Amino acid sequence: MHRHDFDALIARLEKEATEDPAWYRTRVMAFTTVGFAAVGLVALIAAAAIAVAIWCFMLAGHHPRGSGGMVKIGIFSLIIGGWIGWVLLRALWVRFDHPDGLIVTTSEAPELHQTVDRIRRQIGAPVIHRIRVVGGVNASLVQTPRLGPLGWYRNELILGQALLRLLTPAQASAVVAHELGHLVGGHGRSGAWIYRLRSTWSTLHERLAASHGGGPVRWFLDWYAPRYNAWTFVLARQQEREADRIAATVAGSEAAGQALIRTSLMGRTEHERFWPELHLLAARQMEPPGDLSARLAARLAAAEPTLTRWQREALAESTGRADTHPCLRERLKIAGASDRAPPPPPPLSGSSAWAWLGMIDGDLARRFDLAWKNSAQEGWKARYSAAQEELRKRADLERKGDAASADERFTLARLVEDLDGETAARPRYESVLAAKSEHAPALFALGRILLNDGDPRGLDLLDKARRIDLDAAPAVLEIQRLWHDRHGQLEQMRAAEIAADRQHEEDVQAHAERSQLPARSRLQPHELDESALEPIRAKLRAEPEVFQADLAKVVVQHRRDRPPFVVAFRVRSAWWRWRSADANIQLAQRLADAMPMPCWVIDAKGQQAALAKAVAKLAGARIYERSN
């Protein structure tokens, strides 16, 4: 299902759900039945085939004479039924991985388990089988179906230690109540059941697609899972709203609102400040730090100067078309909470981590730190080694000073950003544009940095980068969409979404158009000048077997800004040396990977000889011929 089809279906279903909720829920239940009916039909076919086999074997046993035909039918039916049954079982018997995190038992954290159990009983949620603590800023409820779509769920609550360290017990209770609220829902058990089933079908589809297995079952899920996801999208968003109401009921409106705002700000701080700063640290420190948990908690609790702007932007955002969570402004309204900035994070002694985890909080942190350090060791050392090479390159480029070309200045700016961060790189990108105002990568980089700093001038720079290089369009439009969303500019945000959809469709059609070798009628002279041909010739010279090459441009309907080409090469080897066809195929692949433009590379004497002849007949086609 294409993205625009998915969006159109969701828009229609949201309207139907608003106008007639009962009819919408009836149709969702009916579509849910389709999934089970399909699985049941396949199982019935398998069982019927096996029953036919048994019946044939029984008849053959009672009437031995002339039973050869019955035995053959029985064997055939058994093979068919067994194969269908095996495919079905393999498809449904998908292993669901255990969630990350350390299991915290009742004996280790009795207050945590008592609090969760109290909230569970208060809202009427089912039993929580396990509570896990992870190191980051997140909370979730993971339901693992033991029997695939048939259910029998194991419920596990996941809580981030950094989250608990920066929320009061009341605020953390709101987070827990929200997660457990997904198991209840204000529309009865059926709504919560469909909410869970939605995730199960999607996971099942993803796993089968990744394994390239499942046969007919996967073919059905290719059709069913995306549509079921769309049909239940509105219901999932209703469940999120109901979970927010439950959180406010359990913890109080103010605590629930403060938790919503604080988790939003902490999530952005972790993503846009903590991990980028750690990346910069890896350039100067050989070993990863052993106190990641303390560093993260300190960074999240710091009085970040941009927090006020970030909160204003978060409150301006609208509910996304692909996210089941309502926007922060709507969630605060549902909870009956104000949008005032929450008070500073509590000290550790007043946090939910201290109240719920007690003495094991420090032990968990040490275990998280050790596990992270061990897992990060290899990547950290690779980053440090790469940074030393980057420092050498930066020093060489800085020595060139004003004599550096625009591309060299851009390389220097990229190195500075990777080593010292965006703030240090900003004047470097400005220097690139001073040398070459149409430098698309520099326009994109500077525009991105300006918007990150809250400067709207970055929008014009990104627009200019997109006009120069359409390959940058998806990234540009996503950055612009997010900016407009965070500033309440709905019309501009929708325009960016529409442009992104159109560009996506154009790219999909361009990919399909280029998926097969072109017809000879689509060839025309390459029209490249000497400066564009020289990089191509350099790649051809690097392959000593190639002694001639012809070039043609391919006429396309989509993405005409980057037309593909056909390179037809000829090899020369000694008459006494045998050369396999595979050698030429590998040569063609190497050349295709090395070429500076999208192209097909073909052997002029191979299977595409006719296409190669058509290329050679075009004016100016011969672009390379080895002299010796």
Q: What is the DSSP letter of 619?
A: T
Question: What whole-number distance in Å separates Cα of residue 485 and Cα of residue 500?
Answer: 15
**Mean pLDDT along residues 466-482:** 93
Q: Hey, what CATH topology would domain 520-625 get?
A: Beta Polymerase; domain 2 (3.30.460)
pLDDT at position 218 over 90: no
Q: Is 108 helix (H, G, I), strand (E, B) or coil?
A: coil
If one compares 106 and 606, the residue with the highest pLDDT of the two is: 106
What percentage of the chain exceeds 70 in pLDDT? 88
pLDDT, residue 220, reads 76
pLDDT tier at 205 (50, 70, 90 boundaries)?
low
pLDDT, residue 536, reads 94
If one compares 145 and 618, the residue with the highest pLDDT of the two is: 618
Q: How many residues does the chain have?
A: 628
**Mean pLDDT along residues 142-147:** 72
If one compares 199 and 136, the residue with the highest pLDDT of the two is: 136
Q: What is the DSSP letter of 522?
A: G
Strand order across the beta sheet in which 153-160 lies: 102-103, 130-134, 153-160, 139-145
Contact, 215 vs 271, CB < 8 A? no
pLDDT, residue 27, reads 81
pLDDT, residue 1, reads 53
pLDDT at position 336 over 90: yes
**Mean pLDDT along residues 137-147:** 80
Q: N- to C-terminal Cα distance for the chain?
A: 55
Q: What is the DSSP letter of 472?
A: G
The packing angle between helices 189-211 and 68-92, to 10°, is 110
CA atoms within a 13 Å half-sphere pointing along the CA-CB vector of 563: 18
pLDDT, residue 601, reads 94
pLDDT at position 13 over 90: no
pLDDT tier at 390 (50, 70, 90 boundaries)?
very high
pLDDT at position 188 over 50: no
Output the pTM of the full model: 0.79
User: How does pLDDT run across 593-620, given as a tens digit for each residue?
Assistant: 999 999 999 998 888 899 999 999 999 9
Contact, 558 vs 530, CB < 8 A? no
**Mean pLDDT along residues 407-417:** 96
If one compares 205 and 75, the residue with the highest pLDDT of the two is: 75
Q: Is 153 helix (H, G, I), strand (E, B) or coil?
A: strand
pLDDT, residue 200, reads 66
Q: Is the dihedral of CA 380, 385, 388, 390 positive or negative?
A: negative
pLDDT, residue 187, reads 45
What CATH code would you report for 404-513? Answer: 1.25.40.10
pLDDT tier at 304 (50, 70, 90 boundaries)?
confident
User: How does pLDDT run across 524-546, given as a tens digit for each residue?
Assistant: 999 999 999 999 999 999 998 89
User: Where is 194: in which H helix or E strand?
Assistant: helix 189-211
User: How does pLDDT run across 420-453, given as a tens digit for each residue?
Assistant: 999 999 999 999 999 999 999 999 999 999 999 9
User: How does pLDDT run across 221-239, given as a tens digit for each residue?
Assistant: 777 777 777 778 888 888 8
The strand ranges marked E within 505-621 are 523-524, 546-554, 565-571, 599-603
**Mean pLDDT along residues 271-279:** 94
Contact, 432 vs 439, CB < 8 A? yes
Q: Is the dihedral of CA 105, 110, 112, 114 positive or negative?
A: positive
User: How does pLDDT run across 550-579, given as a tens digit for each residue?
Assistant: 999 999 999 988 899 999 999 887 655 666
User: Where is 622: in which H helix or E strand?
Assistant: strand 622-625
pLDDT tier at 133 (50, 70, 90 boundaries)?
very high
pLDDT at position 214 over 80: no
pLDDT tier at 399 (50, 70, 90 boundaries)?
very high
